[in-house]
Structure 1
C-alpha cells in the first residue's frame, strides 16, 4: 500500500468542557454539520488517493464508541484496524507500538501518515498535496512533520524554525513578544503534531535516541492479542506491558534529536480547535458579532457565543461571553479566558465529580442509557437497546432494579428464568440475581429502569458473560 494513515484519538479535551468529558473526549464533539471531529479525521484520511487501510489508536474504553462513529460514515474498500490502549502513554508510545505492528505486518518500507483526531482541516485538496510531498520525503528516509503557515502571533502552539524543508529547530510555546518576532521573520511555522515516515525509519530513530521506548513497545506488541474480523482488526495492547512504555511525546523522544527531521510548510485551513472561542469562530457571526448554536434568544447582546441543544437560552445586555449549556452542566466564561476552562475540569476531577467524566447520556456497545433523576437510594434511567443487541449476564450486590418496557419487546434472564416482557409490561430484578437484558426485535427497545438500594454506582457490577469481551 502506498500509505497507511494512523489516527491518534483520545485525550480529555479539558478546555472544551462541559461537552468534552473523559469518556466523551474532544474527537467526539459534533460540529454544526452533524459530523464529529473524529469522523472528519477518518474521512480526511480514508479519502486520500490509494488509501486502503486506516489504523486508529484509541483507549480501550472508547473502542465501541469509535466503531459507531466510523459506521456512520464508513468508506467502502477501506479496512480499519484498532490499536486499543489500556491507558494513555503519550504519542511516542502510541507511534512506537503502531510502527512495530505495521513493520511486522506490512514491512518496514510502508509509509505511515500520523494524524490527530481532534483537529480540523478545511482544505482537503491542499492537505492531499502536502501529504504527497511528505510521502516523497519519507521514502528518502526523512522523518517529516507538517508546519502550518502562521497568520497570527499565537502563544498556544509550538513552533518550527525552517529553511525550506529542513528543520532548523523546534521551539516551545513562546511569549507574545517572541511569537510576534517569529511571525515577522517568516522563518517559523506552527507545529501541527502530524507526521509522515516509513515504519522502518521511525523504528531506527527510536532505536538510536530512545531504545528504552522501542524495547518496551516491542515487548508490548509481542504480548498483545490480535484478532482479525470481517469488519476490522482489533489489537488489544497488553495492559502490563503497555504501562511499562515510557510516557513521552514523539517531539521530545525523536523529532528534537534526529538529524533527518524535515518539514512540509503548508496552508491547509488547519485548526486545533483548542478552546470554545476557536470552536465558536466556526459559526457565522450575526450583525452584532454573536455566534449561536441551538435555541437561543438575545436582546442587546454583542460578541457572544452561546450553545444550547437541550433547552432555550435567553440572554440580555451581556457581551464577550461564552455560554455552553448541557443537560447536567453549564459553562459561563469570558471570551478572552476560554483557555482557562481546563481549571474547571481539573477541579471537578479532583473532587471526583461525575461531570468531568460522563454525560447524563452514556453510550455503550449495546445502545445508550440516560440518567433522568437520582437521589438518596434511587436512580431512574432511560435505557435504549439496539436491535439484536444484549447487555452482559451480570449481577449487582447493592441494588435492585425495576424494568418497565415502553417500546419494543425485551428478552429477560432473571435468575433461573428466561421470559419476554412486552410494551407496557414490567419485571423486578432483586439484588444478587444474575440477569440479562436483550432486544430480540427489529426496532430499538426502550425501557425505564428504576434502581433502589444503598449504593447505586456504575462499578457495582459483576459480569459473567459478555459478547463484547468486557468480562
Structure 2
C-alpha cells in the first residue's frame, strides 16, 4: 500500500475493565491479562496494525504505562509513549496523540482491549478508512451486528453517512435497530488526519482543545502534568466531535469484533477457542482445580488469589455493581 502519508496506530490503554473484576484490577487491567491464547489483548492490538502503520503511539496512564512498556519491549517495536497523569476521557487522550503528530499524519485510533478476527475484512476496512481520511474525513468503524446486543452503542447510517449515534439500547430497542437494517455496532475505532481532528475539536469543544494543548506543550518525556490535566474537561470523543462534526463518514465491516466488556463476551470468545465448558454450559476461568457445578446452568466461576466471582452468564453486565460497591468501600480488592 502506498504510504504517501505517515500512518500512526494510536493505542488507547486507559480503560479499567470494571465489568471483568476480579480478573481485571487497577494493577492489571483486562488489556494486559494473558488470557487470550497466551497473549494479552494489548499485545494482539499492537501486532494487528503493524503491517499498515509505520508508527505506534501508546496513550496510557501513570498506573499502567509500565505494563505497556513490558509488551512494547518484548515486541521490540519503536513507539511514542504518552502518559496521562489522570484519566480525562477519550477526547483529550486522542488530542494528545494528534498534538504529537504532524497535521497530515493519518491516525488509526483503537482501544487496546478488543478482540478482532477475520483479518482480511479488517484490513479492507482499514484501507477504506485511510482512503477516506486522506480526503479529509473523520472516519468511524461500524460493525454489521450479528445479534441485538445491548452492551454496545450503535451508529445509524445511510451509505457511509452517519445519521446518528445511539447510546446502549435496551433489548426492545436493540431488536428494533437490527430489524431496520441500517444500524451498526459502534466499535470505538477511528481514522483521520491529525490536523483535521484538531480543527474539529477546536471548533466544537474549544476548551478541551486549548487545555489539552497547554498540557501537551508542558509534557516532560511524554508525561503530562497532573495540575494542567485536571483543567481539561473529561468528555468522550463522541460528544466532543463525532456527534457534531459534518466531516464524519462510517466504514461498515463484517470483521469479527467484540469489546470483551463482560464475562459473557469473554465466555463466548473462550468457547470459540476450545475452552472447556461442562454439559450444562458452566465454565471455570482462572484455575485448573477440579470444580464441579451441581444444579447450575450457564454459570461462570472466576477464580483469583484474593477474590472469586460466581455469576449467571446473562447477568454479566451487573458485575460493575460489585466493582462500584468495592470502590465506595475503598477496597484493596480493586488493586
Please give the TM-score of this superposition, normalised by the length of structure 2. 0.94
Match of 1:282? 269
CA RMSD of aligned residues (A): 1.8
Q: 1:32 offset after TM fit, Å?
A: 4.0
Encode CA deviations 1:82-109: one digit per residue, 9 max, x unaligned.
100011110001011111111xxxx211
Q: 1:60 offset after TM fit, Å?
A: 1.3
Considering fraction of residues, name the structure with more strand.
1
Kept in 2: contact 1:216–1:244 (CA 8 A): yes
Match of 2:249? 262
Kept in 2: contact 1:165–1:265 (CA 8 A): yes
Encode CA deviations 1:43-78: one digit per residue, 9 max, x unaligned.
1122x33x2210010111212221112233x15xx4
Kept in 1: contact 2:282–2:293 (CA 8 A): no
1:355 aligns with 2:314: no
Kept in 2: contact 1:90–1:247 (CA 8 A): yes
Q: Which of 292, 308, 315 matches 2:276?
A: 292
Q: Which of 6, 16, 21 matches 2:20?
A: 16
Aligned counterparts of 1:304 and 1:134: Cα–Cα separation in 2:
40
Change (3 A) 1:220 1:56: same
Match of 2:111? 116
Change (3 A) 1:262 1:313: same
1:214 aligns with 2:209: yes
Match of 1:142? 137
Match of 2:146? 151
Matched residue SS, 1:314: coil
Which shows bigger deviation, 248-257 or 31-40?
Answer: 31-40
Aligned counterparts of 2:288 and 2:148: Cα–Cα separation in 1:
37
Matched residue SS, 2:327: helix
Considering fraction of residues, name the structure with more helix.
2
Kept in 1: contact 2:141–2:250 (CA 8 A): yes
Aligned counterparts of 2:81 and 2:88: Cα–Cα separation in 1:
16
1:101 aligns with 2:100: yes
Match of 1:456? none
1:265-344 maps to which residues of 2 (within 5 A)? 265-284=252-271, 292=276, 302-309=280-287, 311-344=289-322
Which sections of structure 2, spanning at least 5 residues, go unmatched?
A: none
Match of 1:91? 90
Q: 1:186 offset after TM fit, Å?
A: 1.3
Match of 1:412? none
Matched residue SS, 2:287: strand
1:315-464 maps to which residues of 2 (within 5 A)? 315-357=293-335
Please give the TM-score of this superposition, normalised by the length of structure 1. 0.68
Larger Rg over CA atoms: 1
Encode CA deviations 1:394-453: one digit per residue, 9 max, x unaligned.
xxxxxxxxxxxxxxxxxxxxxxxxxxxxxxxxxxxxxxxxxxxxxxxxxxxxxxxxxxxx
Q: 1:115 offset after TM fit, Å?
A: 0.3
Aligned counterparts of 1:185 and 1:221: Cα–Cα separation in 2:
43
Match of 2:238? 251
Q: Which of 26, 41, 47 matches 1:43?
A: 47
Aligned counterparts of 2:252 and 2:264: Cα–Cα separation in 1:
26
Aligned counterparts of 2:272 and 2:251: Cα–Cα separation in 1:
33
Which of the pair has the greater relative contact order for Cα pairs under 8 Å at 6+ separation?
2
Aligned counterparts of 1:292 and 1:42: Cα–Cα separation in 2:
28
